[in-house]
Amino acid sequence: MPSIQLEINTGKLSGEGVITAQKKLSQLENVFEDEATRASMDQEQLIYEVQAFMPVEEGKEGGLYFGNSTIFPGKVNEEYFMTRGHFHAKLDTAEYYWCIQGKGALILMDENGKTWLEEMTPGSVHYIPGKIAHRVANTGEEKLVFNACWPSEAGHDYGTIEKEGFGARLKDIEGTPTLVATKNEMV
């Protein structure tokens, strides 16, 4: 029997070696544009949860990691609940996401700040090339669940996004998820 199990209908992982982490609203300071509203909300509110199975040492060439993310529905003002977003530390490494449940947006940005999105729906598969920052937002009314596979040498660079942000923010504009440019032209 394999050391981990994947529940096909939910995307959840179980078994020895599966790591789980949660992000609450209190841990997402300065991620959302409206920091005052974020700070006034319930800081214990769970925004997203991630699971990962990492069978080889981080940074080891040639290994693969497998993960699951669940983003809960909600907004900070007009901005949908989302992940922090990152480039890979080894910039030229790629990643796959595939949607299991819910509705969302994969927000992508190149090194010049050009930002675009791909809609995530159950069954959609998304290839994220190297040198592309990525974050995911839940644009629906239920949990957004997706799986991911990435190289063990990829690493995560959250600092660049914390410092510079994305070239656009995904907002609910009259009921429609819309990218709104912050500093650069969007693709």
The pLDDT tens digits for 72-93 are: 999 999 999 999 999 999 999 9
CATH number at residue 126: 2.60.120.10
For residue 146, being part of any structural domain is answered with yes
Mean pLDDT across the stretch 67-76?
A: 98
Burial of 116 from C-beta contacts in 10 A (0-12 / 13-18 / 19+): middle
For residue 100, being part of any structural domain is answered with yes
Question: Which domain, by its residues, includes 50?
Answer: 4-181
For residue 186, being part of any structural domain is answered with no
For residue 133, being part of any structural domain is answered with yes
Please, which pLDDT band fits residue 143 given cuts at 50, 70 and 90?
very high
For residue 187, being part of any structural domain is answered with no
Mean pLDDT across the stretch 32-44?
A: 97
Q: How many domains does the chain have?
A: 1
pTM of the model: 0.95
